[in-house]
Amino acid sequence: MLTLWPKFSLIDQITKVKVFRLKSLQKITLGARVVGDRGQVFQSHAHFIADKHGQVDVCRDPSVGGSYRGVSAMGLLWSMIPAPGQRKGIRLIKSDVTKPYNFALNCFDGHISPQESSSSKPLSSKTFEKGYMVNGVKRIPVKEGRIRGTLFLPPGDGPFPGVIDLFGGERGLVEYKASLLASHGFATLALAYIGYEDQPLSPSSINLDYFEDAANWLVSHPEVLSHGIGMHSICYGSWIALLMASYQIAAIKAIVAISPLVIAYRHPFQFKGRVSDVIPPNDSRVQSSEKGSIWRFAFSTDLDYMNPTVSKYSAITPVENINCPVMLVSGTDDLNIPAEFAANFIFDRLKENGKEHLCINLLYPQAGHIIEPPYSPLCDSSFNRSSKEFGGDSYAAWGGETGAHAWAQEDSWQKILHFLRKHLQQKTESGDEED
């Protein structure tokens, strides 16, 4: 009755769901459930009406109620929310990329709620897997000098285009985007820089020399194309990636900056023995909400008075110096940082210097801060240690309207992959990219 194909696929690929042998125009509910790596439970449900042949095709037929409405092949995934009875601020995030998520899908007669489904017997049940690593991806822990992280190599013979993935300012090592990029053909280094192994939990500054060392190490790796690498980054990581390009670290040939930052707000950075200025946020402008602290308005966007001291780098990233292609991804409902301002600032500075051809600026209405690979559930609020340490409460509000955010993730991800392939693939003698 309930069919799924394929049994396993990457998190950013479609799982086709169909229901057969129903009555003509029968009402059904499909309910999905997954248990995360830390035991957190997420769920969704959608109401469908069978066609005259007694069939439902989730890729074709609209949901008429439930967690989402309309036609969306993966709506049951991106519309997931935490199941009731759990602590506030949980997030579905992959900590063990070697194991896929196991999703349970149930088909119930009639249009019912999740609460009603818990006491109802399903007509049919199936499971399917969604992961971040395809067979053949190699996961290699990296401890080279002071460099800490994990290198993911694609299946097959290299060398491959190289990418460094930088997460936001949270502590530890996050691997799920790097492993997914490797599954799409990129040799990707998930690079840790705060609170991992012997790294300080609260660094006094961000040392750009460390990231230059990591870039040089990756570009010289025998499995990586030697003409240069890209950066895939979000939030605090995007600030670092944009600094690397602005100070023209030679290995950097392309930047993807999601929810970008262009000002040293929390920490100064240091590079080649010099330290930057800092423009700290105005904590009195942090707003409280049911979801958590809204930090967006605490960060100044008035750049007129921001002049560096003679001995220091400016707190404002000199993005006008960037000479490599840049893709910016931001949402208008980002409640954490002024990402839309930063993206427009970067584009305008490049345009003033005749470099607008280098910049793609993707701005998504009603998308929030945490723009993930496709079909990831919206995280509009979560526990955040940094928010508490810097004067907010223990939870941060990230923003985003569920459907609009889902579209931003689906649309931007394909453009990100195309952008990285275009600018990092090996060039042939004729100047064309290799297939």
pLDDT at 432 over 70: no
Percent of the chain with pLDDT over 90: 86
Could you give the CA distance from residue 424 to residue 153 in angstroms, rounded to a whole number? 15
* For residue 433, pLDDT beyond 50: no
**Residue 352 CB neighbours (<10 A):** 10
Q: Do the Cβ atoms of 366 and 400 come closer than 8 Å?
A: yes
d(Cα 330, Cα 285) in Å, to the nearest integer? 22
Q: How much is the pLDDT for 289?
A: 93
How much is the pTM?
0.95
Topology given in CATH for the domain delimited by 138-424: Rossmann fold (3.40.50)
> Would you state the pLDDT for residue 391?
62
* Residue 393 pLDDT: 76
59-64: average pLDDT: 98
Closest CA to 268 of 319, 203, 337, 321: 203
Smallest CA-to-CA distance from 31 within 103, 99, 90, 91 is with: 103
Task: Note the pLDDT tens digit of each residue in 9-34.
Answer: 999 999 999 999 999 999 999 999 99
- Tell me the pLDDT band of 427, cut-offs 50, 70 and 90: low
Residue 428: per-residue pLDDT: 39
Query: Is the previous residue joined to 161 through a cis bond, with omega within 30 degrees of 0?
Result: no
On the question of pLDDT at 424 being above 50, the answer is yes
**DSSP reduced 3-state for 316:** strand
pLDDT of residue 170: 81
**Catalytic annotation present for 334:** yes
CA dist 282 and 227 (Å) reads 42
**Residue 368: which of 329, 414, 341, 411 has the closest Cα?**
329
2-131 placed in CATH 2.30.30.60: no
* Cα 336 to Cα 31, 43, 257, 287, 296, distances in angstroms: 32, 26, 15, 10, 5
Residues in the chain: 435
> What's the maximum distance between 2 C-alpha atoms anywhere in the chain?
77
CB atoms within 10 A of CB 248: 12
Per annotation, catalytic residue among 165, 277, 333, 334: 334
221 belongs to the catalytic site = no
Q: Tell me whether strands 41-49 and 81-82 are parallel, antiparallel or unpaired.
A: antiparallel
The domain spans of the chain are 2-131, 138-424
Percent composition of the chain: helix, strand, coil (DSSP 3-state, to 5):
20, 30, 50
pLDDT at 405: 98
Strand partners, 33: 43, 104
Catalytic residue selected from 369, 380, 405, 423: 369
Least Cα distance to 231 among 223, 154, 239 occurs for 239
| Cα dihedral 114, 118, 121, 127 sign | positive
- Average pLDDT along the chain: 93
Mean pLDDT of 338-366: 97
Token pair belonging to 2: 């309930």
Tell me if residue 204 falls in helix, strand or coil. Answer: coil
CB 89 within 8 A of CB 381: yes
Q: Which of 235, 324, 359, 379 is catalytic?
A: 235
Helix axes 236-246, 208-219, angle to 10 degrees: 80
How far, in Å, CA of 226 to CA of 424, rounded?
Answer: 10
- Give yes or no for residue 407 having a pLDDT over 60: yes
The three-class DSSP label of residue 357 is helix
Specify whether 235 is catalytic: yes
pLDDT at 51 over 80: yes
pLDDT in tens, 83-110: 999 998 899 999 999 999 999 999 999 9
Q: Give the C-alpha separation, 282 to 280, whole Å.
A: 7
**pLDDT tens-place string over residues 171-229:** 899 999 999 999 999 999 999 999 998 998 889 999 999 999 999 999 999 999 999 99
Coil, helix or strand at residue 153: strand
**How far is residue 411's CA from residue 157's CA, in Å, rounded to a whole number?**
30
In this prediction, residue 435 has a pLDDT band, given cuts at 50, 70 and 90, of very low
